[in-house]
Structure 1
Amino acid sequence: MSNLKIIPIGGVRENAKNMYTVEVNDEIYILDCGLKYPENEPLGIDTIIPDFSYLRENSQRIVGVFLTHGHADAIGALPYFLNEFNVPVFGSELTIALAKISVKADKNKRVANFNDFHIVDEKTEIDFAGTTVSFFRTTHSIPESLGIVIKTVEGNVVYTGDFRFDQTAAPEYQTDFERLAEIGKDGVLALLSDSANAENPKETVDEREIYELVSDNFEYRKGRIIVACVASNILRVQQIFNAAAKNGRKVTLAGHDAEEIIHTALKLNKLKLPVEDLLVPFKNIKRFPDDQIVILETGRSGEPLKSLQKMAVHRHPKVSLQEGDLVFITTTPSHAMDTMVARTKDMIYRAGADVKTIADELNSSGHASRSDLQLMMNLLKPRYVIPIQGEYRLMAANADCAREVGIPKENIFLTSKGDLLEYEHNKLLLTASVEISNTLIDGSGVGDIGNIVLRDRKALSEDGVFIAVVTINRKKKEIVDQPKITSRGFVYLKTSHNLILESQKIVIKAVQKNLDNKEFDWGHLKQDIRDQLNHFLYEQTKRHPVILPIIMETNQHHRFKKRKVISQN
C-alpha cells in the first residue's frame, strides 16, 4: 500500500490559479501551474500566483509539472515557478509552445533559458517508481487540452482540467469517450473536477451555434467590426477567421498578446487561415473599405475590455471607435467582471458605436455544465469527488451534481487551499492542512506585497492620507514649531480650517506629553499621535484616513519664529 496525499495549492474557492499536488510515497506530482488576474480591486496588483512555500520545503521530492492546457489559469505561473525549481514540464505540443512563450518572456536568464520541456499526448504513458502518469483528450476552447491520470496502487487519481462535452466539436477538440470509459473501468479513486460552470442550470450551446452567430453579425454589418477575444482562446479565433473569410473581410491584429500566440498556433497547424491573404498588417487597413475589415483585439483575461475602453475615449494607440462600428465581445468574462463589462458597453455607446456580446445571446462556456459534470462522473465512476476550479458556491454546485449521481456526501470534499487529503485505512480523509496564502505580483516585485500593504492601499484609495509633521527639541523637551498638517484625498484643507486647527492642538498635546515622559520612545510617540488623531478624525468625518506622523528633531539653540502652516491640496 502506498502513501497517497492530495493538496490543492490553488484553484479552490477562487477562479483560476490552478495548482494541485498528488503525492505518492516520496514523489510529488504537480498538476498545472496557473495564475489569476485581479478582478474587482486590483490595488496595483498585476497578477496573483500560488504560494510555493510547501513546495520549497519539499523541493527534492518534486517529479515534475504536468499541464492540462495553454491558458494562463494553467501555465501562467510557470516563469515564477521555474525561477525556483528545476524540474521537467510535461504538456501537449501547443501547451508547451505557449508555455515557452511565457517562459522566454521572463527577464531572468535562468528562467528564459529553461528547456526541460516534454511533449505528451493522449497516448503517452510515463512510468515513475510505482506510479504511471497518462493523459486523455478533453474538449475546451483551445486545442490539445488534456486530462491527467495518476495511476496508484489504490486506484487512479484523475484531474479533468478545464473541460466540457460537445458532440459537434471539430476533431482537434473532441473528447475521447472510449478512453474515459477505460479509465473508469480501471477504477478511479478520486476525481478532481472542474467547477467553473457548475452553477449554470442551462445546457451550454455547441460551438456551431456560436460560429453561426459570429458569421451572421459579420454578414449584416456595413462598418468596421472590432472583436474582443482572449488571445489564447484559439477556438474563438478560428471562428473569427472563418466568419471573416466567408463574408469577404480581412482580419488585422491589434492586441497585446495576439501576434506571437496566433502565429505560433498557425505554425503548429492548430489554427488555420481559410484564405491565404486573410491577415493584413494593421498599417494597411486603410486600403480597405470599413465593411471589409475585422480588427481583432486580444489579450489576457480582462485586457480586451480595457483596450475597448481606451478605444472609446480615443486613447488606444491604434484604434478609435467611430459611428458605424460594431464592437463584438466574444469572450465570456466571469461574473466578478460584470461591472467592468457594463461600464465598457456604456463607454462604447457613448463613442457612437454598437456593441454585442455572445453571452447576451447564447449560453456559452468552455467549462462543463451540470449534465457534463454528471456524465464525466458516470463514465469514470469515482469513489471520491473533489470539486476544484471555482469559487465556493461553484464547488458546492459541483458537489450537488456528485450527490445526484449517487456519490455519498462523506465522499465529497469541498477543500480550501492547503487542505491535506490523505488515503489511509482504506479511506480518503481530511487529516491536516498546510499554510498556503497568495503570492502577489506587483511590477517586478514577487511576493513583497502582503495583506498589510494591500490594506494600506485600500485605505488610501478610500479615505486618503493625513500627514502631521512636527519638529521637536528633545533636550529642551519642547516643540520647535507649529505642526504642519497635510492631507491628500481626505479633506479639502481650505474649507476645513477648524478641523486642521483642532488636529494641530491634538498633535501638540500628544507630543508634549511624550516629551515630558522620562522614558521617551519614538515608536510610542508616533503611535500616540496616530491613535488620538484617528479617534478625532473619525468622530468628525466618519472616515479612517492613513495617518502618517513625521517627527523631526533639532538640537539648535535658537527658536524658529512660530508660524501657522496649512498646506494646500
Structure 2
Amino acid sequence: MSKNTIKIIPLSGVRENGKNMYLAEVEEDIFIFDCGLKYPDNELLGIDTVIPDFTYLEENADRVVGIFLTHGHADAIGALPYLLERLEVPVFGTKLTIELAKINVHKNEATKKFKDFHVIDEHTEIDFGSGVVSFFPTTHSIPDSVGICLKTSEGNIVYTGDFKFDQSAVPMYQTNFARLGEIGKEGVLALLSTSSNAENPTPVASELTIADEVSDTIFYWEGRIIVAMVASNLQRLQQVLNAAHRADRKVVLTGQDFGRIIRTAMKLGKIEVPEDNLIITQKEMKQYPPERLIVLETGRMGEPIKSLQRMANGTHRTLRIQEGDLVYITTTPTTAMETNVAKTEDIVFRAGGTVKMISENHRVSGHANPDNLQLMLNLMHPKYFIPVQGEYRQLAAHAELAEKVGIPKENIFITAKGDVLEYRKGLLEPGGAVPAENVLIDGIGVGDIGNIVLRDRKILSEDGIFIAVVTINRREKKIVAHPQITSRGFVYVKTSRDLIRESADMITTIVEKHLQDEDFEWSKLKQDIRDRVGRYLFEQTKRRPVVLPVIMESSQRHKPRR
C-alpha cells in the first residue's frame, strides 16, 4: 500500500441493526472500531447470535494495530471473544467498557487468559505513526461511551459510535461539545455516524424527563412493581434505584449476568446505590410486603418480555404475577417485538396485573434523532459522509439529512457489508469488496450452520419429519426388514394408517428396484426415496416434511428354511 493511501471498510453494521464493526486502513495499519454482535431474528431458527466475518482480518492479522471500543453494549463488544481467538491484538476502551469486555472475553474458554486490555479516557492520544487515535465523550444509555477520532495526514476519520445529544444529561453521561468543535475545525475527511433513528422525526425525551416519569410511576403505585428493562441500560437502572429509594422500596435483581454487570458498574462508581441494603436477593423478598418491592426483570433484546409471559402464565422458575402487580416496561420495543408485547399485556391482565409502558407518554431512545444527527454533521463538517448502524432505509434517511446540511450527494456513500472505500489522490471512491458474510453462532458451533441447515430447520418447524428405516442385504439383493415409518410434526400416525402403508409400499418398491441395479449406489437410493416419497406426501397432504431415509445393511446370509 502506497503512502497516504486510506481505506474505510464497514465490515458489518450497515444495512442491519447491531454487529457494529468498521475498519480504517492508513498506510499499512488497520484500525478496528468496535467488534459487536447482533441477536437473530425469527428466521434464524435456533441461532444464538450473529457475528461479523473475520476472514479479511485473519488474512491481514500482522497489520492490525488494535481494537477500539466505543461503549459496553453487545453491539459494540459482543464479538470480541470470537475475534481474539483468531487475533492477538490490544483492545482499547474506557474503564467501564473494558471491564464489561473482560467479563465477555473471560467467559470464553479460548480467551480467558487474554490480558492485553488498555484503559483510555477523553484525554488519551495514541500515536501509531500512521495515525493518532483520540476519543470524545458522548451521551448514550450506558456511562463511559465515547466516539473515536483517527487523525491522519489527510484529515480526521471520525466514528461516532452510539450517541444522542441531551442538554440535561447528568455529568457522567454528558457530551463534550467543545471537543467535537475542535475535531471539526481540524478537518474531518470522513464521518461514520449512527443512523438508528434517522427516519423518525419525533423528538426523544430528555433523560431528566424520563427520570421524573419513572420516579412518579413507582412512587404512586400501591402494589408490587415488576420493571422490565434491557440489562445493558445502566442509565435506566440508575433511575429505578433512585425512584426505589424515594418510594422506600427494596429492589430485587434477576439474572446472574445482570448482577455481574451491576457489581462491575458499582465498583467503578458508574452506578450509585442511594442507600445500603436497597438491593436484596430473591430469598429476602419474603421479609417485605409486596408494596415495598420492585422486581427488576432484565435480559437482552426481547428476553424481559418473554420472562414476563412466563411470570404471568405460571411457568417462571421463581416469580408469578399476582393481583395488584404493576408490570412497568421501561424499554421501547422494536417493531418486530410489538406483537409480542401486545400478547404479553393480555396475559398479564388475565393474571390480575396491570401493564404500563414508558413509551406511552414519551419517546425513549439512546440514539440520536434527525436534529441530533444534523447537529453532529454541522459540528464535524466532513468532506465525505458514510452513514452506518442501521437498515438500508435508515442509512438512506441519514444520507438525505446530510444532503440538507450541504454535503454533496457524490460525497455520501451508502455501503453494504464488506464494501471498500479507498482514498487516493484526493478522492474517496469505491474500491472493491472484502468477505463479509454473517457468521452464525449456535451453542459452541461458530460458522458451522449454513443456509441448508437453516432451510431444514425451517421445514422441520413448519412440516415436520418423515423417517423411513429399511434393512437390506445387498449380497442377496433382498430386503431383510421392511420399512418402519416414524413421523414427528407431520401427521398423527394412528389416524393416517393408509398414508403410512402406501408410503411403506412405495419405499419397498424403490429399494427392490435399486437392489437389482448393477450400479447400486447408496446416495442414489436415498435421493430417489426422498424425491418420490416427498412428492407423494405433498400430493396427499400439501405438506413438505423432511424425508429422512435410513438404510441399514445386514451382512448375514439368510438360509432358506427346510
Tell me if both proteins adopt one fold, taking TM over 0.5 as the criterion. Answer: yes
2:461 is paired with a residue whose SS is helix
> Is the contact made by 1:18 and 1:74 (CA closer than 8 Å) also made in structure 2?
yes
Give the residue type in structure 2 aligned to 1:138.
T
- TM-score normalised per structure 1: 0.95
Give the CA deviation at 1:333: 3.1
Give how far 1:278 is off. Answer: 1.9
- Paired residue for 1:499? 499
- For the structure 1 residues 560 and 374, does the alpha-carbon distance in structure 2 shift closer, same or farther, using more than 3 Å as the test? farther
Matches within 5 A, 1:84-483: 84-108=86-110, 111-483=111-483
Distance in 1 between residues matched to 2:58 and 2:141, nearest whole Å? 33
- Whether the aligned pair in 1 keeps the contact of 2:229 and 2:330 (CA below 8 Å) is yes
User: Out of 61, 64, 70, which is 1:62 matched to?
Assistant: 64
Whether the 8 Å CA contact 1:168–1:207 is kept in 2: the answer is: yes
Using the size of structure 2 for normalisation, the TM-score is: 0.96
Residues in 2 aligned to 1:124 and 1:380: alpha-carbon distance in whole angstroms: 20
| Offset from partner CA, 1:43-102 (integer Å, 9 cap, x none) | 222111112111111111110100000111111111222222111100011111111111
Separation in 1, partners of 2:146, 2:53: 24
2:4 alignment partner, one of 2, 17, 38: 2
Distance 1:202 1:85 in 2: 42
Alpha-carbon shift at residue 146 of structure 1 (Å): 0.3
**8 A Cα contact 2:45 2:458, kept in partner:** yes
Separation of aligned partners in 2, 1:552 and 1:144: 61
Q: Greater CA deviation, 94-103 or 503-512? A: 503-512
Q: CA deviation at 1:280?
A: 2.3
CA distance in 1, matches of 2:542, 2:399: 43
1:80 maps to which residue? 82
Partner Cα separation in structure 2 for residue 302 and residue 257 of structure 1: 16
Distance 1:559 1:162 in 2: 77
Which residue in the other structure is 1:14 paired with?
16
Task: Please state how far the C-alpha of 1:534 moved relative to its aligned partner.
Answer: 1.8
Q: Is contact 2:71–2:77 with CA below 8 Å preserved after alignment?
A: yes
- Which letter does structure 1 place at the counterpart of 2:524? H
AA paired with 2:387?
P
Kindly provide the CA deviation profile for residues 430-456 of structure 1, in whole angstroms up to 9, marking residues without a partner as x.
Answer: 121122212222222222222221111
CA distance in 1, matches of 2:116, 2:140: 26
The residue type equivalent to 2:46 in the other structure is G
Q: CA deviation at 1:257?
A: 2.1
1:287–1:544: structure 2 CA closer, same or farther, 3 Å change rule?
same
Mean CA deviation greater in 369-378 or 337-346: 337-346
Structure 1 distance, partners of 2:481, 2:238, is 70
Task: Determine if contact 1:257/1:298 at 8 Å carries over to the other structure.
Answer: no
Mapped to 1, the partners of 2:218 and 2:369 lie a distance apart of 29
Counterpart CA distance in 2 for 1:559 and 1:443 is: 50
Q: 1:336-386 deviations in whole A, cap 9, x for unaligned?
A: 222332232222222211111112321111001011111111110112211
Q: Which amino acid aligns with 1:118?
A: H
Q: CA separation of 1:101/1:560 partners in 2, compared to 1, >3 Å: closer, same or farther? A: farther
Deviation at 1:559, TM superposition (A): 7.9
- Report the CA distance between 1:157 and its aligned residue: 1.0
In structure 2, C-alpha distance between the alignment counterparts of 1:449 and 1:102, rounded to whole Å = 23
- Contact conserved, 2:331 with 2:364, CA < 8 A, in 1? no
Counterpart of 1:419 in structure 2: which amino acid? Answer: D
Using the TM superposition, name which of 94-103 and 504-513 deviates more.
Answer: 504-513
Q: 1:256 to 1:334 in 2, by over 3 A?
A: farther
Question: Which amino acid letter does the alignment assign opposite residue 44 of structure 1?
Answer: G
Q: Match of 2:367, SS?
A: coil
* SS of structure 2 residue aligned to 1:534: helix
1:124 shift after superposition:
0.9
The question of whether the paired residues in 1 share the 8 Å contact of 2:44 and 2:454 is answered with: no
Match in the other structure for 2:27 = 25
Kindly indicate whether the alpha-carbon contact (under 8 Å) linking 2:470 and 2:550 is maintained by their aligned counterparts in 1.
yes
Larger deviation, residues 493-502 vs 389-398? 493-502
SS of residue in 2 equivalent to 1:482: strand
Whether 1:43 and 2:45 are equivalent positions in the alignment is: yes
Supply the distance in 2 between the matched residues of 1:248 and 1:543 (Cα, whole angstroms): 59
Tell me the amino acid that sits aligned with residue 482 of structure 2. Q
2:540 alignment partner in structure 1: 540
Q: Is the 8 A contact 2:29 2:130 kept in 1?
A: no
2:4 and 2:424 in contact (8 A); partners too: no
1:127-185, CA deviations, whole angstroms, 9 ceiling, x for partnerless residues?
00221111111110011110001111221111110001111111111111111111111
Aligned amino acid, residue 222 of structure 1: E
Query: What RMSD over aligned residues (CA atoms) do the two structures have, in Å?
Result: 1.7
Structure 1 vs Structure 2: percent identity of aligned residues? 60
Amino acid at match of 1:286: K
Contact 1:252 1:281 survives alignment (8 Å): yes
Could you tell me how far 1:527 is from its partner in structure 2? 0.8
- Write the distance in 2 (CA, Å) between the matches of 1:13 and 1:543: 34
Q: Distance in 1 between matches of 2:446 and 2:494?
A: 41
Task: Specify the alignment match of 1:484 in structure 2.
Answer: 484
Distance 1:16 1:253 in 2: 26
CA contact (8 A) 1:231 1:262 kept: no
- Residues of 1 paired with 2:283 and 2:241: CA distance? 19
Q: CA deviation at 1:551?
A: 1.0
Deviates more, 1:314-323 or 1:552-561: 552-561
- Whole-angstrom CA distance in 2 between matches of 1:367 and 1:261: 21
| CA–CA distance in structure 2, aligned partners of residues 206 and 120 of structure 1 | 28
- Give 3-state SS (helix, strand or coil) of 1:257's partner: helix
On the 8 A contact 2:27/2:130 being kept in 1, the answer is no
Q: Distance in 2 between matches of 1:559 and 1:294?
A: 77
For structure 2, list consecutive stretches of 5 or more residues without a partner in the other structure.
Answer: none
SS in 2 for 1:480: strand
